[in-house]
Amino acid sequence: LLFIPITLVVYLTLYFARYLFSRKRSMYTEVKLALKMREFFLHYQPHVDASSGCVFGVEALVRWQHPSRGIVYPDVFIPLMEEYGLMDELTDYVLNAAYHDLAEKVFREGIHLGINVPPGYFSNPKNIRLLKLYKNKFDGIGISLGLEITERQFLDSVACESISRLRTFGIDILIDDFGTGQTSLSVLERTNIDYLKIDKCFVDSIGHQSVNAPVLNAIINLAKELNVGIIAEGVETDRQAQYLLTQGVTLHQGYLYAKPARIEKLFLSKSK
Ligand code: C2E
Ligand code: MG
Ligand code: MG
Ligand code: MG
């Protein structure tokens, strides 16, 4: 009598495992095909110099124009692509797409471009060569290349070495989402970087009523002491912008200024 339920459980488990496996496989095929079919595209969000109103630069943010699901955002497909080991391929794709988008525009006074670079990218020498190549290509169209790197990449000594080398090529290094990772502060003394991007959560601490932002203030002072630039992420209100300005933080990114959009929709002249 016990035999029937046991068989049933075993059968269902196997069936479910097979289902999960084939689903994962088909997701892999789908993402791989999307790269091949060039279904990914870029939105750009400006980094605004709030003291003058000028656009200092833009960050490239990848999206997937899915054939049936509409626009899919990176928080959905990046974890998948990390799992499938497709992040190098995606980064190459993004560099190429950004070059083609921006080569059509004319930047008389130059502009900064932030590209998000995933963990592990710097451990492949081929990628370092590719970045050097792109650095020169972007220079040729009046764009200075910057790489947005998360804190955890500084835990890897090979990556740190590559980062230093890339800086000698004239590529800017930005630490993304600063304050949310595990940067040991000693890394900041050892590694030269160009900008800290203060994570949105600290900008959010500039409240509606009172400002209670001790960590934000500390990060600002830290950046000043280290003599590195600061970009505030996720600025949404006038109050936040005003407070940041009084603290001497002039480079802002956020919905207050512009949401990420296709390059054609962005106003890209430095003189506003
Ligand atoms: P991130 O690099 O920190 O990018 C900033 C994210 O905050 C973007 O989300 C942007 O749309 C959003 N954001 C900007 N201003 C505001 C604001 O005022 N309010 C709010 N609520 N959000 C704001 P997005 O585009 O969904 O990207 C999420 C993350 O995905 C990025 O975080 C980045 O880590 C990753 N990502 C995006 N594009 C790429 C890429 O090309 N390569 C890699 N490796 N990662 C990427
Ligand atoms: Mg970023
Ligand atoms: Mg960020
Ligand atoms: Mg962020």
pLDDT tens digits for range 5-33 = 889 999 999 998 888 877 776 888 999 99
Tokens of 156: 């890897």
pLDDT attached to residue 132: 97
More confident residue, 137 or 3: 137
Other C-beta atoms closer than 10 Å to the C-beta of 10 total 10
pLDDT digits (tens, 9 = 90+) for 189-220: 888 899 999 999 999 999 777 777 889 999 99
Ligand 1 centroid from CA 66, angstroms: 18
Phi, psi of 57 (to 5 degrees): -170, -175
CA-nearest of 90, 55, 47 to 196 is 47
The span from the CA of 252 to the CA of 55, in Å, is 10
Supply the pTM of this predicted model.
Answer: 0.91
Query: CB burial class (10 A; 0-12, 13-18, 19+) of residue 188?
Result: buried
Task: Tell me the one-letter amino acid at 136.
Answer: N
Ligand 1 centroid from CA 237, angstroms: 18
Are 203 and 232 within 8 A, CB to CB?
yes
Ligand 2 centroid from CA 255, angstroms: 15
Ligand 1 atom with the shortest distance to the CA of 150? 34
pLDDT attached to residue 211: 73
More confident residue, 4 or 215: 215
DSSP 8-state symbol, 153 = G
- The bound ligand whose nearest atom lies closest to the alpha carbon of 146 is 2
Ligand 1 atom with the shortest distance to the CA of 236? 18
Are 195 and 164 within 8 A, CB to CB?
no
Ligand 4 centroid from CA 199, angstroms: 5
Ligand 1 centroid from CA 122, angstroms: 20
Split at pLDDT 50, 70, 90, the class of 2 is confident
Ligand 1 atom with the shortest distance to the CA of 73? 26
Nearest CA to ligand 1 atom 8: 61
Nearest CA to ligand 1 atom 9: 61
Question: What is the arithmetic mean of pLDDT over 135-150?
Answer: 96
**Which of 42, 44, 61 best tests ligand 1's pocket when mutated (most atoms within 8 Å of CB)?**
61
pLDDT attached to residue 108: 67
Please state, in angstroms and as integers, the Cα–Cα distance from residue 88 to each residue in 2, 42, 142, 166, following that order: 52, 16, 25, 17
Ligand 1 neighbours, Cβ below 6 Å, are 45, 60-62, 73-75, 78, 94, 116, 118, 148, 176-177, 234-236, 253-255, 260
Q: Give me the interface pTM, i.e. the ipTM.
A: 0.97
pLDDT attached to residue 202: 94
The span from the CA of 226 to the CA of 244, in Å, is 18
pLDDT at 107 over 80: no
Q: Backbone dihedral region of 156: left (phi > 0), alpha (psi from -120 to 50 degrees) or beta?
A: beta
Question: What is the arithmetic mean of pLDDT over 216-236?
Answer: 96
The span from the CA of 134 to the CA of 189, in Å, is 28
Other C-beta atoms closer than 10 Å to the C-beta of 20 total 10
Question: What is the arithmetic mean of pLDDT over 76-85?
Answer: 94
Nearest CA to ligand 1 atom 44: 118
pLDDT attached to residue 105: 80
pLDDT at 271 over 60: no
pLDDT attached to residue 26: 82
More confident residue, 265 or 94: 94
Question: What is the arithmetic mean of pLDDT over 169-182?
Answer: 92
Question: Tokens 């949310």 correspond to what residue?
Answer: 180
Tokens of 99: 């070059």
pLDDT attached to residue 186: 81
Question: Tokens 């899919």 correspond to what residue?
Answer: 72
pLDDT digits (tens, 9 = 90+) for 154-169: 888 888 899 999 999 9
pLDDT attached to residue 95: 98
Split at pLDDT 50, 70, 90, the class of 231 is very high
pLDDT attached to residue 137: 97
